[in-house]
Amino acid sequence: MPNKTAWARVGIGIFLAICSAILLTLSFPPYGFWPLIWLAFIPMLVAQFRVMPRKVSGLASAIAIGGWLGGYLTPIFAGSGLYMTWLPLLIAGISYLADSGVRAFHERTGYRWFVGYGALNWVGFEMIRGFIPIMGTWGFVANTLYSQPWLIQPVSIFSIFGLGLLIMFVNYGLGLGALYLFDRRWKLDPGIPPLAKLSVRNWVLGVLAALVAWTGLSLALFRTPTTGTVRVAALHYDAGAPPWGAVDAFSELTRQAAQGGARIIVWPEMAIEGDPQVTNSAAFRRLAAETDAYLALGYFVRVNEHGWRNEVTVLTPGGQFLGVYGKDHPVVFAGETSLSRGTYPVYETPLGRIGTIICYDLDFTDTSRNVTRNGAQLILVPSHDWPQIATKHYTHLVFRAVENRVSLVKADNSGNDSVVIDPYGRIIASAITPGGDRSGQVVIADAPLGAGDSLAVRLGDWPGWIALAGMVFFFIYDPITKAKVKRNIVYG
């Protein structure tokens, strides 16, 4: 191949990969152009499997995924340390190495596995990321649809991983169609197996039919809650640093919330220095009695040089502390620990069954599911976000609501993102103020009590496990196909 032609192909391939990176970035909050997620990977696939020379085909996915994560994650973790800041570049390198042999695999197998391979491997890797403390569900392709509750209701059956599979099947199915059309116009490499027209048509129609079926099921499941409601309030205030210097401000906001009729009032994460069950407990009991409200109090206790307790307790109007929940997923890359993690209490009250999680817990599917399995109808979420995630973090909570069919109340003490979300993923009240709000707000709403009876609660992330099994299958099957080709060459 002439050098000029090779370099032209590399340049065009890079351009197409950058287009995918831009489409992915625009799909996610804060931009919110969610329809783009259904076709964002197609330019990358054309670059990787047709435009780029075979030897550097992995460069297409490296640029697309690394570029997207650079735009999505770098602003979030800027200043948090070298590892997190350079994480997109690391993932780009892994993508290049992992995808270097993918084109050869599909050419060996006649592209019969193209759609399944791509979708299962992507979501299988999302499943793995869900186990990693620094990642969770950040960057999941399904998160792009948080603002479309009419379209995400089957998540209550298939979990967020099921929606991710659908998105990737659509991208790879349409991508296969794009490769077929490309081949009709250009033949850049010899030896590419022809794509069977009937197979391509079936895949394209199949993934579109799956999208239509998903949408129909979602509309059938989407409804207005008929359960009872309870008036809740999230205290939204930038307490500064350290965050526990504003108990008086939170107390005044609590009184404002009670005047608005709130019966359950959520204080943010680490709003209090010291355990309110021990330190100044009389003052907190008086506040609960004065407001006739249940108070979810986020607090912080340094135990020793090796760790601390990041907890929330619920205080009744009668002055009883119902129990303690310790943060399940501390932000380990920021040096956070949680010595009291691993229990998931639910409190029976006249207003309903109340559970709690804390901040980063909402980025993982397991914690809220464990609380719901213990009977929660309403989950309270004290949090302490930093400004760079204000327009992104609360969006993950939409999926925890739909997965578990419970309402959630998030109160943030950096003044970034406080929300109330119903069991169908509707954001019924919110305050999103990147950079903080020192004036303070009360986010108040009538939250429906959830049923907590979804299949996702009982079955967990089962589509994710299927995707992970598929990923393992292809990992094993790839060398088998290589060996088969070698045998055919040797024995003719």
**CA gap 66, 53 in Å, rounded:** 20
Do 139 and 189 belong together in one domain?
Answer: yes
Full DSSP string of 455-482: HHHHH-SHHHHHHHHHHHHHHHHHHHHH
What pLDDT is recorded for position 436? 66
Q: Position of tokens 């403390």?
A: 133
Poorest-confidence range of 69-83, 138-152, 240-254, 295-309?
Answer: 69-83
What pLDDT is recorded for position 91? 78
pLDDT over 60 at 29, yes or no: yes
Do 105 and 240 belong together in one domain?
Answer: no
pLDDT tens for 216-239 read 999 999 999 888 999 999 999 876
Do 255 and 382 belong together in one domain?
Answer: yes
Mean pLDDT to the nearest integer, 449-454: 95
Number of domains in the chain: 2
**Whether 377 contacts 201, CB under 8 Å:** no
* Residue 316: C-alpha distances to residues 230, 323, 351, 432 (Å): 15, 11, 11, 29
Q: What is the DSSP letter of 408?
A: E
Q: Is residue 228 helix, strand or coil? A: coil
**CA gap 259, 414 in Å, rounded:** 23
pLDDT over 90 at 21, yes or no: yes
- Beta sheet of 407-412, edge-to-edge order: 346-349, 352-356, 378-383, 407-412, 417-421, 427-432
Do 168 and 24 belong together in one domain?
Answer: yes
What pLDDT is recorded for position 101? 86
pLDDT tens for 178-212 read 999 999 999 888 888 899 999 999 999 999 999 99
What pLDDT is recorded for position 39? 97
Do 472 and 356 belong together in one domain?
Answer: no
**CA gap 341, 68 in Å, rounded:** 33
What pLDDT is recorded for position 437? 64
CATH number at residue 337: 3.60.110.10
Poorest-confidence range of 225-229, 295-299, 399-403?
Answer: 225-229
Do 116 and 251 belong together in one domain?
Answer: no
Poorest-confidence range of 117-121, 310-314, 338-342?
Answer: 338-342
Going by C-beta distance under 8 Å and a sequence separation of 6 or more, which residues neighbour residue 343? 325, 326
What pLDDT is recorded for position 100? 83
Do 263 and 212 belong together in one domain?
Answer: no
* Residue 97: C-alpha distances to residues 118, 135, 310, 420 (Å): 16, 21, 39, 43
**CA gap 295, 275 in Å, rounded:** 14
**CA gap 311, 305 in Å, rounded:** 18
Give the largest CA-CA distance in the chain.
88
At 492, the pLDDT band (50, 70, 90 cuts) reads low
For 190, the token pair is: 């010899």
Do 417 and 387 belong together in one domain?
Answer: yes
**Whether 64 contacts 44, CB under 8 Å:** yes
What pLDDT is recorded for position 3? 72
Mean pLDDT to the nearest integer, 24-28: 96
Poorest-confidence range of 245-249, 395-399, 469-473?
Answer: 245-249
Select, from the ranges 72-86, 371-385, 425-439, 471-485, the one with the highest average predicted confidence (pLDDT): 371-385
Mean pLDDT to the nearest integer, 430-451: 87
Is the four-CA dihedral 342, 387, 147, 431 of positive or negative sign? Answer: positive
Supply the range of the domain harboring residue 400.
229-457
pLDDT over 70 at 27, yes or no: yes
**CA gap 207, 166 in Å, rounded:** 8
What pLDDT is recorded for position 358? 96
Averaged confidence pLDDT in the chain: 91
Do 269 and 165 belong together in one domain?
Answer: no
At 337, the pLDDT band (50, 70, 90 cuts) reads confident
**CA gap 321, 347 in Å, rounded:** 10
Both ends of the chain: CA-CA distance in Å?
Answer: 28
Q: Which of 39, 54, 46 is nearest to 195 (CA)?
A: 46
* Residue 414: C-alpha distances to residues 135, 232, 271, 383, 429 (Å): 21, 20, 10, 8, 18
Do 183 and 52 belong together in one domain?
Answer: yes
**Of residues 488 and 261, which shows the higher confidence score?**
261
**Whether 347 contacts 314, CB under 8 Å:** yes
**Of residues 113 and 75, which shows the higher confidence score?**
113
pLDDT over 70 at 240, yes or no: no
**Of residues 488 and 311, which shows the higher confidence score?**
311
* Residue 85: C-alpha distances to residues 18, 69, 77 (Å): 20, 11, 6
What pLDDT is recorded for position 96? 78
pLDDT over 80 at 242, yes or no: no
Output helix, strand, coil percentages for the chain, rounded to the nearest 5: 50, 15, 30
What pLDDT is recorded for position 241? 54
**CA gap 277, 320 in Å, rounded:** 9
Do 34 and 159 belong together in one domain?
Answer: yes
pLDDT over 90 at 414, yes or no: no
Helices and strands (DSSP H and E) totals, the chain: 15, 13
Do 17 and 86 belong together in one domain?
Answer: yes
**Whether 216 contacts 151, CB under 8 Å:** no
pLDDT over 80 at 245, yes or no: no
What pLDDT is recorded for position 79? 55
